[in-house]
Structure 1
Amino acid sequence: MKTVQLKKEKNKDWEYITPKQDLKNPLVLAFGNRFLLENPNVYEEIKEVYPESQVVFGSTCGDITANSVHEEAISLTAIEFEKSNFVIKTSNVLNSERDSYKTGNELIKQFPTEGLKFIYVISDGSFINGSQLAKGMNSGIESNVLITGGLTGDEARFEKTLASYNENPKQGEIVAIGFYGETLEVTFSIHGGWTPFGPERVVTKSESNILYELDGLPALDLYKKYLGEKSEQLPGSALLYPLNVKSKDEDQSIVRSILNIDEEKNAMILAGDIPENSIVQLMMTNVDNIANASERAARQALELRKNEPELALLVSCIGRKLVLDQRVEEEIEEVVAVVGKSTTVSGFYSYGEIAPFHGENNCQLHNQTMTITLISE
């Protein structure tokens, strides 16, 4: 595997982050600021750098390399596989009446199954229901195929997210990259570092990803009561206080970010489904807990491997970035310290992370986690 990384800031030329080298038919991951990805020439500019490349775009809440977290730039990671190959498929949730389950199911079923080892998903983060997308993908693939990835972002604006394959980025798009190869080794792990606090509440009224009532009371009113003065900063402040959600028929609990609020209906819109009768609790964290969780995720992903990783794909949540603030690079530094400086690091801050729970096969939508996928040939 050979990799090259570049970045481009507004009104500047492409700058090499790693040494320049020729690559044959590379996969190019282009993660960047939404406004820069809206440049009508962005795809052509990348093809000028790598004419034979296959380009996958995703807008971010910050794009990640081993060197830095870039907020006002586009970061390219160009990858030449020497022993493996990849196939890219796309779908658009806006073309299927916004049915996220159907979109995920039909997208995954496009892949040839023989030799398929891993699928990396870069999904729309605005119109998609990430929980239903994950369920649809699980139902469309054999359980031994790992699926990880994330929902594209737009900083804390929540205005528009973009993704695409071999064309200018657009809304509603979901891109899946299927990887094939006998020597391909892929491991992953996720960790959060958030702590539940306060009383447990029962979801008494919800619909899909909209939460209406807790313990028979308006959910938004209760949430504002707990936030106190911070409720005046909603919906932005909600990213700092997500919900821990545990279903009565499942052992695992999952974190759900609150993406928006509906004052008129006294409801909260979450990043994924919140079933009725599930138990919820507020969560909080700090910089040290987030950095430690990233280190644990990296160590766990590394422990499962036979070979040294060559590429690390990181997806971390916008809520973590807001907590870290000026210290945002600390969680990336923790990962690099574990996987080694010889491993190419690429990734983005997201509106949701896609991966199985540790030790499980089916992927899930997560919030507020660091998800690490390690790849080698």
Structure 2
Amino acid sequence: MKIVQAIKKGNEPIVLQNPGRLKEPLVLVFGNRYLLEDDGLYNEIRALFPEGHIVFGTTSGEIIDDNVLEGTVVLTAIEFEKSKILVKRCNVKDYKHDDKKLGANLAAQFPKDNLKHLFVISEGSTVNGSALIEGIEHLNSNNFGLSGGLCGDDDRFERTLASYNENPKEGEIVAIGFYGDTLEISSANYGGWTTFGPERIITKSKGNILFELDGKPALDLYKTYLGEKANELPKSALLYPLSVKATEDAEPLVRTIINIDEVESTMTLAGDIPEGSRVQLMMSSVDDIANGAYHAAELAMQNRKAAPELALLISCVGRKLVMDQRTEEEIEEVKAVIGDSTVISGFYSYGEMAPFGGQDSCKLHNQTMTLTLFSE
């Protein structure tokens, strides 16, 4: 595996840190939405990597090595020497926002023979991440791994962009398939948040839209808890996500709000929130989040045969808001576990995709640190 990285700031040209010709590399470009709206960026990267499979995604912060950046573009180009990749894309508008169908059709484009893993970079403004994952895994008879994340737009929640081999645009969902006998790919996630306050029942919801808690308008109830911070919704909701437990035996999932409807008094969350689920508010601290990142890395490293050569980190924008000037501490905690020789890239997101530790089925998470580790 050969890897080249670069950072682009503003209008400055991209300068590769360790230049060298790569054969048909996967080029991951994570960056600030305003920079990815520049039509010249794609051409600049295409000139650097004429044979590259270029995948874009907007962020709420960029990760490279143990640094967390803002207002930049980070580029990671990977040549797999013993393995192959295949990249496919779909757009939500072509499926009338039937995200499960989109996921199923996206997965169907990948030959399943020797498919080890799908890594998904999805638009993050409107997609129901739970339905998308359900569609992708619908016919997963080969038990390939699945991880990835929803693109971000800082804490603006205006629009997110992604693309494959073209200028970034809205509504895109890109999947990267990894094939090869020598590939070892592991993924895991962990949060570090704790519940507080009374437990309530979801009495009315549809997909990822929450209407009522305990028979009362959900948004009104949530605003009561937030107090003055309600004026900053949906940004302020990132500090107080919801723990959602669908059944008594189910693992609780963390859900954050990505949009609100003042007229209907509803909240749109990043993933499903089934009726009858029990929910509680959650909160966290800097130390808890850093410890959660360390534990996520431990889970990703469990039972690995080879040291990881590449780590793709996707962490939630809500964690970044809590960590503030100490955000890099959670990346440092990850690096302490996976080792200094592992190349690190990634971004802060509106949602993370990964299985729970020890499980195969992927879930949509919020407020977690998610790692996908690669070696050949």
Q: TM-score when scaled to structure 1? A: 0.97
- Contact 1:187–1:304 at 8 Å: present in 2 too? no
> Are the aligned partners of 1:258 and 1:270 in contact in 2 as well (CA < 8 Å)?
yes
Matches within 5 A, 1:44-63: 44-63=43-62
Amino acid at match of 2:4: V
Structure 1 counterpart of 2:8: 8
1:96 is aligned to 95
Structure 2 distance, partners of 1:39, 1:305, is 40
SS at match of 1:290: helix
Q: Which residue of 1 aligns with 2:294?
A: 295
Distance in 2 between residues matched to 1:54 and 1:270, nearest whole Å: 32
Count of aligned residue pairs for this structure pair: 376
Q: Give the 3-state SS of the residue equivalent to 1:121 in structure 2.
A: strand
- Does residue 204 of structure 1 match 2:207? no
How far apart are the structure 1 equivalents of 2:361 and 2:325?
35
- Cross-structure match for 2:326: 327
Alpha-carbon distance in 2 for matches of 1:62, 1:81: 26
Give the superposition deviation at 1:264. 1.5
Paired residues for 1:360-375 under 5 Å: 360-375=359-374
Runs of at least 5 residues in structure 1 that lack an aligned partner in the other structure = none
For 2:226 and 2:183, how far apart are their aligned partners in 1?
47
Q: Is the 8 A contact 2:352 2:366 kept in 1?
A: yes
Contact 2:90/2:174, CA 8 A, preserved across alignment: yes
Equivalent-residue separation in structure 2 for 1:155 and 1:285 (angstroms) = 20
SS at 2:331 equivalent: helix
Deviation at 1:46, TM superposition (A): 0.2
Aligned position for 2:175: 176
* Structure 2 counterparts to residues 79-94 of structure 1, below 5 A: 79-94=78-93
Match of 1:78 in 2: 77
Which residue in 1 is equivalent to 2:281?
A: 282
User: Aligned partner of 1:116: which letter?
Assistant: L
Residues 1-377 of structure 1 mapped to structure 2, 5 A cutoff = 1-16=1-16, 18-142=17-141, 144-248=143-247, 250-377=249-376
User: Contact 2:127–2:270 (CA<8 Å) still a contact in 1?
Assistant: no
Deviation at 1:25, TM superposition (A): 1.5
SS at match of 1:139: coil
C-alpha displacement at 1:340, in angstroms?
Answer: 1.1
One-letter amino acid of the counterpart of residue 334, structure 2: V
Q: CA deviation at 1:327?
A: 1.1
Distance in 2 (alpha carbons) for counterparts of 1:145 and 1:160: 31
RMSD: 1.2
Q: 2-side partners of 1:70 and 1:30: how far apart?
A: 14
**Shift, 1:158, TM fit:** 0.9
Q: CA deviation at 1:229?
A: 2.4
Contact 1:106 1:140 in 2 (8 A): no
Q: 1:354 to 1:143 in 2, by over 3 A?
A: farther
CA distance in 2, matches of 1:197, 1:169: 40
Quick check: 1:34–1:60 contact (8 Å CA) kept in 2? Answer: yes
Paired AA for residue 243 in structure 2? N
Does the 8 A contact of 1:143 with 1:362 survive in 2?
Answer: no
Answer yes or no: is the 8 Å Cα contact 1:195–1:285 preserved in 2. yes
Q: CA separation of 1:246/1:109 partners in 2, compared to 1, >3 Å: closer, same or farther?
A: same
Q: How far apart in 2 are the matches of 1:67 and 1:313?
A: 12
Relative distance call for 1:190 and 1:362 in structure 2 (3 A) is: same
Q: Alpha-carbon deviation of 1:232?
A: 2.6
**Secondary structure of the residue that 2:137 maps to in structure 1?**
helix
Which string of whole-angstrom CA distances, capped at 9 and with x for unpartnered residues, describes residues 15-74 of structure 1?
33x422222211100000111111111111001111111101111111111141121111
Give % identity: 59
- Deviation at residue 143 of structure 1 after TM alignment: 5.3
Q: Which amino acid aligns with 2:153?
A: D
Amino acid at match of 1:332: I
Query: Secondary structure of the residue that 2:202 maps to in structure 1?
Result: strand
Structure 2: any 5+ residue segments left out of the alignment? none
SS of equivalent to 2:109 = coil
Q: Is the CA contact 1:294–1:331 (under 8 Å) kept in the aligned structure 2? A: yes
Residue identity matched to 2:82: K
Give the counterpart letter for 2:187 in structure 1: F
Provide, for residues 202-257 of structure 1, a one-character-per-residue CA deviation record: whole Å limited to 9, x for no partner: 01111111111111122122212222222232221111000000012652110000
Q: Aligned-pair distance for 1:167?
A: 0.6
